[in-house]
Structure 1
Amino acid sequence: MRKNILYIAMACFALGFTACSDDPNDAVTKHVYGPDEAPYLRSDANATISNSLEFKIGHLAVQTINLKNYAEQIQTKLKMTVDDVFVGLENGDIVFYNINTSRGAWDKTAPTKGSTGWYYNSAGGVTTESNAQVAVELDKANKQIVVSVPETVEDGMNGTVNVGFAVDNKKDYDMYVRFSISYKVSDPSSNIVTINVPNTDYTPYVVDLNDYEDNIKDAFGMTLKEFCEAIQSTDGDMVLYMLDKDGNWITDQAYTASGMGYWCDADGNIMKWADKPNYFVESHGDEGAIYIGAYPGQEAGTEFRVRFVYTLKSDNSKFIQFVFKAVLID
């Protein structure tokens, strides 16, 4: 009996060996994704490029992400130049899609904004224009990702959208670069500072720019010293604009006060000194200050809102806005 059991055990053991195969095709293979499937997103922190954008109510300019600025990372992950990426988009070697981070997969939803972009809701999901909180579009001509928000956005809105470029090898999207774009909407006019301005002898209220050093750095990527130097000259890239009563930038008027500065009426409309305006705003970068002063002879207690921005002639998406409630005092 023992001998029979031993023979049976040996036979089973031998059959177990014959069931194994040296053929690698018999092993478990990686799934090949078809054209109608959404490939999974392979985890690779080094393939992610993060951008933070801020849109300011009153001047909701589109913002761009220049792919040339990330040429090295694109070369490392896609094994090609930025120019080659756009050639690949045309011949099918490269794809540009959304990324669904909650599912950890690529999202092949057809464009909803033009032929190369999408509208997104507050949760970062693809939606229609009427329900959109933000939009992302690929500008092939300028090799940029363009991000915009509608005029109906409100203060405090924020979110994150993810898009990416991947090599299409007809199996997966494991060679990729992902752009994680965080955005927020703020309203500069909601932060109003009350100041007391003397109503005699043009004595100004002095705005100390040291108090805005962090804001300046966030807006322009400049040090306080660089900003002060920039507002000293009217011939450079920096420019000062006043805002009218509706919050629109007044961009078509020459300076009417000293240096980079204006005389204005109570509604912010630009005037000349001879026309008896209400107040002036002047840039004094050499002192690290902005002067806000009144035309003499106005009644103490008179109030008006003073609103202005510093921005770049070459890029109006970069700006810092100041809003003051000026109260005239004796």
Structure 2
Amino acid sequence: MKRNLIYVLMTCFIIVFTSCEDNIEDATSKHVYAPDENPYLRTDPEATITTNLEFAAGHIEPQTINLADYADKFLEKMNMSLDQVISGLADGSIVFYNVSVSATWSSWDKTPMTKGTTGWYYNTAGGISTTAQTASIDIDKTAKTFIVNMNENVSAGTELYFNVGFAVAGPDYDTYLRFAFNLSVIDPTVVITSISIPDGDYSSFGIDFNTYAETINTIFGLSVEDFLNNLDANGGTIRMYAIDITDPDNIVWDVTSDYTATPPGYWLDDVGAVTNWNPELVGFNIYAETNTVDQMLYIGRAPGLTAGSSYKISVGYRDTTNENNYFRFIITATLE
């Protein structure tokens, strides 16, 4: 009896083991994706390169990403040189797709290119689009670059996110390098800053224009030196203005007041409106003067003001021959 029981147990063991072995093989076999399936994305944070790009509203310019900068990553994650990856696109051994990302599931998106044969358009949500062309990416296989661009009419504050990547074609697309792009549109025409003016009659704080060289170049296409040389006080076409910001929804450039401080410059009252210095020392609080030699915007104080007082003013610079070229400062000045 015992011998029969042993035989029965051994037979069951063999059956169970064989069954388990079949299940293990099934569980570990790779899924072969059909042409109409979007393959699952195997998560690998180290195979993702994230790039943050800022575009200036009203001054949109395409930005180029050189893939050669990531040659080491291609070798590490795909065991291929960049040249091999680019060549693989031609023979089909490498695919170039978007990546659809969600909180629970990510996959390769095989949607055909919507921007000719070089890339895709995206809508404001970062979805692939043919009609809503908020942003775009192109791949230049000859130059081995990405070209990322935004619609020239896009407004400041727009943000979107999209992913593209290269993968070895099949059976599972697990060997890859992915590029994640975070795009944002900023308003280059506004510089917001806070300063502290030292104690003392007529003392000032200097704001260095060189700190905003990129803004000046974006707006005017000029260096700081050329920008200052083109101010009207030097015979140029760029003028300094005081700006009324008491109503944030109705910003008003003061185009009628003459300079009331050392040109180009103004005396301003407690709400930032243009006023004049007077011997009674009343009715004026802050001066804003552009010094082209020092390349500084000096914000100074009138005599007799109380320490701790704070003033919010705005001054700006605009090309009188092209009023689309301008930028302005919003300055919170606190007295020490």
Q: TM-score range by the shorter chain?
A: 0.5 to 0.7
1:246-275 deviation per Cα after TM superposition (whole angstroms, max 9, x unaligned): xxx467xx99x879621349xx8469xxxx
Task: Report if aligned partners of 2:59, 2:152 keep a CA contact under 8 Å in 1.
Answer: no
Task: Report if aligned partners of 1:258, 1:282 keep a CA contact under 8 Å in 2.
Answer: no
The Cα of 1:325 is off from its aligned counterpart by 8.4
Task: Report if aligned partners of 2:190, 2:327 keep a CA contact under 8 Å in 1.
Answer: no
For 1:137, the equivalent position in structure 2 comes to: 138
Task: Report if aligned partners of 2:188, 2:327 keep a CA contact under 8 Å in 1.
Answer: yes
Name the TM-score, length of structure 1 as normaliser.
Answer: 0.62
Give yes or no for the alignment of 1:123 onto 2:128: no
For 1:163, the equivalent position in structure 2 comes to: 164
SS in 1 for 2:189: helix
For 1:179, the equivalent position in structure 2 comes to: 179
Provide the C-alpha distance between the structure 1 equivalents of 2:70 and 2:120, rounded to a whole number of angstroms.
Answer: 22
Provide the C-alpha distance between the structure 2 equivalents of 1:100 and 1:152, rounded to a whole number of angstroms.
Answer: 26
The 5-angstrom pairing of residues 94-133 of structure 1 reads 94-102=94-102, 103-129=105-131, 131-133=132-134
Provide the C-alpha distance between the structure 2 equivalents of 1:207 and 1:42, rounded to a whole number of angstroms.
Answer: 53
Task: Report if aligned partners of 2:137, 2:149 keep a CA contact under 8 Å in 1.
Answer: yes
Provide the C-alpha distance between the structure 1 equivalents of 2:230 and 2:18, rounded to a whole number of angstroms.
Answer: 85
Provide the C-alpha distance between the structure 1 equivalents of 2:52 and 2:178, rounded to a whole number of angstroms.
Answer: 14
Task: Report if aligned partners of 2:190, 2:329 keep a CA contact under 8 Å in 1.
Answer: no
1:221-269 deviation per Cα after TM superposition (whole angstroms, max 9, x unaligned): xxxxxxxxxxxxxxxxxxx6595xxxxx467xx99x879621349xx84
Provide the C-alpha distance between the structure 2 equivalents of 1:122 and 1:14, rounded to a whole number of angstroms.
Answer: 64
Give yes or no for the alignment of 1:62 onto 2:62: yes
Give yes or no for the alignment of 1:290 onto 2:296: yes
Provide the C-alpha distance between the structure 1 equivalents of 2:218 and 2:152, rounded to a whole number of angstroms.
Answer: 20
Task: Report if aligned partners of 1:306, 1:325 keep a CA contact under 8 Å in 2.
Answer: no
For 2:33, the equivalent position in structure 1 comes to: 33
Provide the C-alpha distance between the structure 1 equivalents of 2:291 and 2:238, rounded to a whole number of angstroms.
Answer: 13
For 1:74, the equivalent position in structure 2 comes to: 74
The Cα of 1:35 is off from its aligned counterpart by 2.2
1:274-312 deviation per Cα after TM superposition (whole angstroms, max 9, x unaligned): xxx99777766xx5x4369xxxxxxxxxx984048xxxx
Structure 2 residue identity aligned to 1:290: M
Question: Which blocks of at least 5 consecutive residues in structure 2 are unaligned?
Answer: 195-203, 240-257, 265-289, 299-313, 320-325, 332-336
Task: Report if aligned partners of 1:206, 1:290 keep a CA contact under 8 Å in 2.
Answer: no
SS in 2 for 1:36: coil
Counterpart of 1:14 (choices 11, 15, 26) is 11
SS in 1 for 2:231: strand
The Cα of 1:30 is off from its aligned counterpart by 2.0
Moved over 6 A (4+): 22-26, 257-260, 277-283
For 1:209, the equivalent position in structure 2 comes to: 208
The Cα of 1:21 is off from its aligned counterpart by 4.1
Name the TM-score, length of structure 2 as normaliser.
Answer: 0.61
Cα 1:73/1:117, change in 2 over 3 Å? same
Task: Report if aligned partners of 1:111, 1:117 keep a CA contact under 8 Å in 2.
Answer: yes
Structure 2 residue identity aligned to 1:261: N
For 1:263, the equivalent position in structure 2 comes to: 231
For 1:237, the equivalent position in structure 2 comes to: none
Structure 2 residue identity aligned to 1:31: H
Give yes or no for the alignment of 1:306 onto 2:314: no
Cα 1:269/1:139, change in 2 over 3 Å? farther
Cα 1:187/1:78, change in 2 over 3 Å? same
For 1:83, the equivalent position in structure 2 comes to: 83
Aligned residues: 250
Structure 2 residue identity aligned to 1:174: D
Task: Report if aligned partners of 1:193, 1:323 keep a CA contact under 8 Å in 2.
Answer: no
The Cα of 1:38 is off from its aligned counterpart by 1.4
The Cα of 1:86 is off from its aligned counterpart by 1.1
Provide the C-alpha distance between the structure 2 equivalents of 1:15 and 1:67, rounded to a whole number of angstroms.
Answer: 58
Task: Report if aligned partners of 1:56, 1:185 keep a CA contact under 8 Å in 2.
Answer: yes
The Cα of 1:7 is off from its aligned counterpart by 3.9
Structure 2 residue identity aligned to 1:93: S
